[in-house]
Chains A and B, each alone.
Chain A
Amino acid sequence: MRISLRATALVLSCTALALAACGEKTAGAVKKSDVPAFQGSTGQSAYVANGWQSGDRTAWEQQMRNRNQGQNEYVRAPAQP
């Protein structure tokens, strides 16, 4: 009777030990969601370009297109005929 009690206690403790890992949280980090660029920057406003309103997607897209023309030298200095 004593042996069986000890065996039962041993089995129970082993089971508890084995199941303890089930409560372990996942070690891997979860990928965070990003805020869209048109929402603007929380940094220093001195660095933000003029001509658009943060939070306005259409204004931001237009700002990107306008800014892109700064890379178009034919707009800045038209080609000679």
Chain B
Amino acid sequence: MARMKFICDAERCIECNGCVTACKAEHDVPWGVNRRRVVTLNDGLPGEKSVSVACMHCSDAPCMAVCPVDCFYRTDEGVVLHDKDVCIGCGYCSYACPFGAPQFPSNGTFGLRGKMDKCTFCAGGPEANGSPAEFEKYGRNRLSEGKLPACAEMCSTKALLGGDGDVVADIFRNRVLVRGKGSEVWGWGTAYGKPSTGGQPQAKPEGKKS
């Protein structure tokens, strides 16, 4: 199986924020934390584009590289997760991430910064799959239920694709061929373009922008 990956088709995203809502509801994400959000470029101008952004589960994740307590790990499916019991909430990952994925809940009267929270690709955390402890810290573990991320599965225009990298790349490639335009995959080169084990960079589907 290939690595799990996200693609957002900027030609299709209508900025409905359904993915954001699905994520918040699925995982009971607290106020002030957005694991996923929709970014709009040239808002209000002709040709504006929107793209749904979250953790891209990078092949060569910079957050993993900079974490001083090494709380990150990568699953067999290539999903980048972290252990909240080890995280010290220092925020280094936030500065390293090119997508602004790491989030920090503010707790207490003086806005004390809590432990890092981010998109888990609906794969939970190191606690037992589907356990209450896992849900409390990381949210639902849909992968262990035989499902894919809620944001991608409920996207009304199918702008956001998530799942096996080979499959989502095939879906996107076919789509581009049928409509004859919009082959740019924003963020793909940044997240998946580097070699993960010193080998050749992974195939880039039709993309120009990174």
Binding site for B on A (CB under 8 A): 28-44, 47-52, 54, 60-61, 63-65, 67-74, 79
Contact = CB atoms under 8 A, between A and B. Distances in A.
A71 B85 CA distance: 35
Interface string B87-119: 000000000000000000000000000000000
B148 interface: yes
Interface stretch (B32-40, B161-169, B199-207): B161-169
Interface stretch (B17-25, B50-58, B74-82, B187-195): B74-82
A67 B83 contact: no
Given A29-B86, A67-B147, 16 more contacts: A28-B69, A29-B85, A30-B86, A31-B83, A33-B126, A37-B77, A41-B144, A44-B130, A48-B146, A49-B146, A54-B144, A67-B148, A68-B167, A71-B152, A71-B162, A71-B171
Given A74-B174, A74-B178, A43 B161 contact: no
Interface of B: 1, 69-71, 73, 75-77, 81, 83, 85-86, 123, 125-131, 135, 141, 143-148, 152-153, 155, 158, 161-164, 167-168, 171, 174-175, 178
Closest CB pairs A-B (n = 8): A43-B130, A41-B130, A49-B146, A37-B143, A32-B126, A68-B163, A41-B144, A68-B167
A40 B7 CA distance: 26
B123 A71 contact: no
A30 B85 CA distance: 8
Contacts of A42: 128-131
A48 B36 CA distance: 24
B136 to A, nearest CB: 12
A64 B163 contact: yes
A29 B125 CA distance: 15
Contacts of B148: 64, 67-68, 70-71
Contacts of B158: 71-73
24 contacts: A28-B69, A29-B83, A31-B70, A39-B129, A40-B144, A40-B145, A41-B141, A41-B144, A42-B131, A43-B130, A43-B135, A43-B145, A47-B130, A49-B145, A50-B146, A54-B144, A61-B1, A65-B163, A65-B167, A67-B153, A71-B163, A72-B158, A72-B171, A74-B171
B85 A32 contact: yes
B152 A37 contact: no
A57 B125 CA distance: 19
A34 B137 CA distance: 14
Contacts of A65: 163-164, 167
